[in-house]
Structure 1
Amino acid sequence: MAGGNAIRGSRVGAGPMGEAERGEAAPRVVVAYYCANEHVTTPSFAQEPGMVVPEFWDCPRCGFPAGQDQDNPPAPPKAEPYKTHLAYVKERRSDKEGAVILDEALKSLRDRGLIQ
């Protein structure tokens, strides 16, 4: 007994389709990018009118920025040490401003009877 709506000779995920089924591939341009760790990355980009190739690309091996100049790759980003909340406050306020704010807070606590 044959089913009327069965797809014969193929199944979902059976394999790659040929170029005739997918259509023609767009013309591509391959660009080499170099990072500070001497890794080479070669992504390809579709050649389309108005398409601008990025100046920098992230290296997939180390994560550093990569540029198109092999002799002068971009410098790795500088890792800034972790800052505490107090360090950020000290960047915004001077010691004199901090003393005024502390005095106001202590006065408010004394007025409410929370400290002596």
Structure 2
Amino acid sequence: MTSEKRPVAINLHSKSRELSLDYGEGETYRLSCEYLRVYSPSAEVKGHGPGQEVLQTGKMHVNINAIKPVGHYALQLVFDDGHDTGLYAWDYLHDLCTHQEARWQDYLNRMEAAGAQRDPDVQVVQFQP
């Protein structure tokens, strides 16, 4: 018997660039493709250990091209920017749902601290006095 939270329905809303996850009994979440991309569990994003995370910038308009089941334990999301190496285990996906607000604010704070942009069409130049 496993305690992992598995969605009973997953729907991609391409136009709004959101993935909806229904866990039943009224527990439903909508996650933006950008949020899922910047919190990809891949080594490219997370690194190979603490402190090796790579801030993902310019992902505001990213979308998901495909959703592939991986065994009975995860999903592989194929993003339109070519990223497809993250395997979203059920527990991690549910954690992204339930901690979305705090994680998103942390991401925005890190973007601001880095002087980076979510929009890939905006370039930032900073000058030091």
Superposed pair shares fold, TM > 0.5: no
The structure showing larger relative contact order (alpha-carbon pairs under 8 Å, at least 6 residues apart) is: 2
TM-score norm. by structure 1 comes to 0.25
Q: Which has the larger radius of gyration?
A: 1
TM-score norm. by structure 2 comes to 0.23
Name the structure where strand makes up a greater proportion of residues. 2
